[in-house]
Amino acid sequence: MSSEKTNRRRPWNTIRFRLTLWGAGVTTGVCLLVCLIVYAGLSWSLHHEVDGILEGEIQELTARVFKEFGQDYEAAEQGVALELGHRVRGDLSYRLLNDQGAVLLTYDPEEQLRAPVPHRLSVDAEEAKPVFETIDDPKSAYPVRMCTRGFTGQDGRTYTAQAGYLLDRVSRSLGTFRGICAVALAVAGIVAFWGGRIVAGRSLRPVQVIIGKAERITADALGERIPLSGTGDELDRLAETLNAMLNRIEQYVARLKQFTADASHELRSPLAALRGNAEVVLSATRSKDELREVIQESIEQYDRLGRIAEDLLLLARADAGELSLERTVMQLDKAISDVIDLYRPLAEDEGVELKFTCSGPVRVHADDARMRQLVGNLLDNAIKYSGRGKSVSVAATAENGAVEMTVADDGPGIPPDDLSRVFDRFYRVDRSRSRQRTPGVGLGLAICRTIVEAHGGSIHIDSAPGTGTRVTARLPQDLTTGKPG
């Protein structure tokens, strides 16, 4: 609601307004460019036509002067004045100069020939090129187009002829065109603005639908999705991207809710046991042996709470990308041997035989403590689910720049429906199998995957009912430094 009020107060902040403004500006700019091009073409065409008239008049009048009047310039001037004076408009002037720049004859009714008398022009033996110029006189409302041309007379002397044309009609025509262009640009700008506003509004209508739908998606309604128009355009791709993001968020929130529920459930059991022990002690006077037994059981529950807290902290840090690894070039085979020696008494109590095979030293650039935790979790899981009289085999090899560690047991195996979920947090395949001793909380394999992936490796399980289970962790030997030696 607040965003809608802000947009109403400040419409220039909306995409629709900016698109409209850009569209109107581009359209008006294109129209202006077209007008300028047409104006330049029209101006050139009109001036070119005037230049042709002036050049023709010079040739015609000069030829007539020398043909009919010879050296009688006074009679020639009267003849020129008589001929040009018969015209409806007195917009054409003419004068003839000798090679010294002296005026021999002139006809200038509008006093257009105010340009200085030119110096002697170089005349080609065959043809002299005319020179054109436009003269702006403050005393005249319109400029004059001047044509000057030199030529050789019948007496062999060089003469210069000039003709001037008043550009009043040309200027008025160009002025009228400028006015038309101004009106056309104004109309085009207005039409472009309102037309662009309508087009932008229709084009952005799907965006309003997306905004409205997104505003209705809350933590309690993550199942809502943005509808697609079916056009396959950029807005459809945006909606698909947002829907994919919502899918990931929904999955993450679902996992978070499940994780919270499972963590609460797992923490409730040891807390209830501790409370029960305390109530038993307080209910009556107990002997030292009874108190010792209660305290020992409470310590076991405290240990379980501590392990759960540590595991949850590790997973939380991994999710936040803050799981720190102290990588060193370690000897993995020795770390595995040490962990096996640590778990051997437990395996003997469970009636499980531990085996370890390694062809030679296996070195890897990794965090020693996390690698020992990885091996310990896999061994604990394998011993717990193998059963009495079974065996657990551990192997480690290094080949092609990678280290591969396998932990295999010949226990009952994992059903196919559970195999895809064994790495989920708090997931246990068969809780009844783990009640022979302190039950796990279903975080062991999730932590194993977190550790392996933090080292840039991969882990997977091969299992089937009745065939045992084989867990394979593959790690790169060289992560950030040179190959370990």
Q: Where are the alpha helices (DSSP H) in 136-233?
A: 168-203, 205-216
**336 and 462 co-located in one domain:** yes
The Cα 369–Cα 380 span in angstroms is: 16
Last residue of a domain, one of 273, 295, 317: 317
H-assigned helices in 65-95: 73-85
Q: What is residue 153's DSSP assignment?
A: -
> Residue range 25-49: average pLDDT?
92
Burial track 313-343 (b if 16+ CB lie within 10 A, e otherwise): ebbeebeeeebeeebebbebbebbbebbeeb
Residues 46 and 88 in one domain: yes
User: Comparing C-alpha atoms, which of 128, 120, 81, 65 is closest to residue 98?
Assistant: 120
Residue 312: the pLDDT is: 74
| Among candidate residues 291, 317, 343, the one where a domain is terminated | 317
CA distances from 357 to 319, 361, 396, 397 (A): 34, 11, 7, 9
Q: Of 173, 201, 225, which one is at a domain's C-terminal end?
A: 173
Is residue 297 in some structural domain? yes
pLDDT at 10: 66
Q: Is the Cβ–Cβ distance between 409 and 386 less than 8 Å?
A: yes
Total domain count, the chain: 3
Which CATH number fits the domain that encloses residue 100? 3.30.450.20
Distance separating alpha carbons of residues 455 and 472, to the nearest angstrom: 15
Each residue of 58-104: pLDDT tens digit?
888 887 777 776 666 677 777 777 766 655 456 788 888 887 777 88
Rounded distance, CA 456 to CA 185, Å? 64
Kindly state the DSSP code that residue 69 receives in the 8-state scheme.
I
> Does some domain include residue 195?
no
Task: Report the C-alpha gap between 132 and 163 in whole angstroms.
Answer: 10
Q: Which has more confidence, 259 or 410?
A: 410
In eight-state DSSP terms, residue 11 is G
Query: Is 8 a domain residue?
Result: no
For residue 344, the enclosing domain spans 325-476
Residue 219 lies in a domain: no
Which tens digit of pLDDT belongs to each residue from 312-341?
A: 777 777 776 777 888 888 999 999 999 999
Residue 80 burial (CB < 10 Å; 0-12/13-18/19+)?
buried
Q: Are residues 138 and 109 in the same domain?
A: yes
pLDDT at 458: 92
Domain co-membership, 459 together with 348? yes
The pLDDT of 458-480, averaged and rounded, is 83
Is residue 430 pLDDT above 70, yes or no? no
291, 351: one domain: no
DSSP H or E run through 55: helix 15-64
Q: Is residue 199 part of a domain?
A: no
More reliable by pLDDT, 26 or 322: 26
- pTM summary value: 0.51
The model's pLDDT over 148-190, given as tens digits with 9 standing for 90+, comes to 888 777 777 788 888 888 888 888 899 999 999 999 999 998 9
Q: Does residue 38 have a pLDDT over 90? A: yes
The CATH number assigned to the domain holding 409 equals 3.30.565.10
